[in-house]
């Protein structure tokens, strides 16, 4: 579904990605592990079109998305990708429901429809009773589940998660990974998840190790 081909990326003299090839199938959950500085976040950002590679291509189906202009690229991102980060980045002045609805509103769907869909997603996440709470009134695990719901709002084909459980205790971390599996079954989304937790990484369909700017095969 998404394919990265011979990706190179440097920051100044620092060569961070040294020819990375990666293909993710539809509905597949892939975890990426590797030492700090190995280039995991950089790769995820390039897959998510948040960062440009120096060379190499990213294909989504037959379309080369790495060559799209800025407007088309952000439209692609909004329609096809979901992002989850270590820190949830929820907007503090909005309720859980509103936070989840925001990507739908950005893609100009009707407000009532967005709120209804956001409520369904929060229900799916086990947060039916927490919808009208602001992030500060939610636990860390609940905040991250709201962030997961927000990532799903536009029914992404691919969810990119950068240490989504890095800030959680082991119980909540495990719950989030179980949720990814339920989401994959319910919505068919693929996942690429960076994690430092080997036990959780091993629950994925495929575990990829990254070392010094390359994927180990
Ligand atoms: N915008 C940037 N400018 C300069 N150097 C950068 C930039 N982003 C990342 N780097 C450097 O590139 C290298 C790879 O960073 P990256 O964040 O991809 O590693 P990582 O494998 O995700 O590490 P971690 O597990 O610590 O998050 C690091 O040495 C980092 O300092």
pLDDT digits (tens, 9 = 90+) for 64-89: 998 888 999 988 998 899 999 888 88
Q: Is the pLDDT of residue 124 over 80?
A: yes
Q: Is 37 in the pocket of ligand 1 (CB under 6 A)?
A: yes
Q: What is the pLDDT of residue 199?
A: 87
Q: For the chain, how many helices (H) and strands (E)?
A: 7, 10
Q: Is the pLDDT of residue 217 over 80?
A: no
Average pLDDT, the chain: 93
Protein residue with least CA distance to atom 6, ligand 1: 11
The residue written with tokens 């905040």 in the block is 143
Between the alpha carbon of residue 19 and those of residues 54, 58, 107, 216, the distances in Å are 10, 12, 34, 12
Q: What is the pLDDT of residue 193?
A: 95
Protein residue with least CA distance to atom 30, ligand 1: 37
- Adjacency order of strands within the sheet including 63-64: 14-24, 2-11, 55-60, 63-64
Confidence of residue 146 (pLDDT cuts 50, 70, 90): very high
From 13, 18, 40, 50, mutation site for ligand 1 pocket: most ligand atoms within 8 A of C-beta: 40
Q: What is the pLDDT of residue 200?
A: 87
Q: Is the pLDDT of residue 6 over 90?
A: yes
Confidence of residue 177 (pLDDT cuts 50, 70, 90): confident
Protein residue with least CA distance to atom 8, ligand 1: 42
User: When comparing pLDDT for 186 and 33, which is higher?
Assistant: 33
Task: Please give the average per-residue pLDDT across 144-159, as a whole number.
Answer: 93
Task: Please give the average per-residue pLDDT across 103-115, as a whole number.
Answer: 91
Confidence of residue 168 (pLDDT cuts 50, 70, 90): confident
pLDDT digits (tens, 9 = 90+) for 7-49: 999 999 999 999 999 999 999 999 999 999 999 999 999 999 9
CA distance linking residue 195 with residue 102, whole number of Å: 26
Protein residue with least CA distance to atom 27, ligand 1: 36
Q: What is the pLDDT of residue 53?
A: 95
Q: Which domains does the chain have, with CATH numbers?
A: 2-216 (3.40.50.300)
Q: Which of 5-9, 59-63, 180-184 has the highest mean pLDDT?
A: 5-9
Q: pTM of the entire structure?
A: 0.92
∠ CA 46-154-39, rounded to 5°: 20
Confidence of residue 107 (pLDDT cuts 50, 70, 90): confident
* DSSP state string for 155-171: --SEEEEESTTTTS-HH
Q: Is 215 in the pocket of ligand 1 (CB under 6 A)?
A: no
Q: What is the pLDDT of residue 142?
A: 94
From 10, 13, 38, 42, mutation site for ligand 1 pocket: most ligand atoms within 8 A of C-beta: 42
Please, what's the b/e burial string for 90-126 (b: 16 or more CB within 10 A of its CB; e: otherwise)?
A: beeeebbbbbbbbbbbeeeeeeeebbebbbebbebbe
Q: Is 55 within 8 Å of 45 (Cβ atoms)?
A: no
């Amino acid at each position: 579904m998404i394919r990265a081909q011979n990706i190179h990326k440097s920051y100044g003299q620092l060569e961070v990605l040294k020819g990375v090839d990666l293909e993710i199938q539809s509905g597949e959950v892939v975890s990426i592990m590797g030492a700090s500085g190995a280039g995991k976040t950089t790769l995820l950002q390039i897959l998510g079109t948040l960062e440009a590679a120096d060379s190499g291509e990213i294909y989504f189906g037959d379309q080369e998305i790495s060559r799209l202009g800025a407007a088309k690229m952000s439209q692609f991102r909004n329609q096809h990708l979901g992002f989850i980060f270590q820190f949830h980045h929820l907007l503090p002045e909005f309720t859980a429901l509103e936070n989840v609805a925001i990507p739908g509103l950005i893609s100009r769907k009707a407000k009532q429809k967005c709120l209804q869909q956001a409520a369904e997603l929060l229900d799916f996440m086990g947060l039916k009773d927490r919808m009208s709470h602001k992030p500060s009134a939610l636990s860390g695990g609940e905040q991250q589940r709201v962030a997961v719901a927000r990532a799903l709002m536009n029914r992404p084909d691919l969810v990119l998660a950068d240490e989504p459980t890095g800030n959680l205790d082991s119980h909540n971390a495990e719950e989030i990974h179980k949720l990814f599996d339920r989401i994959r079954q319910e919505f068919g989304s693929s996942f690429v998840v960076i994690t430092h937790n080997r036990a959780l990484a091993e629950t994925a369909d495929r575990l990829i190790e990254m070392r010094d700017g390359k994927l180990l095969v």
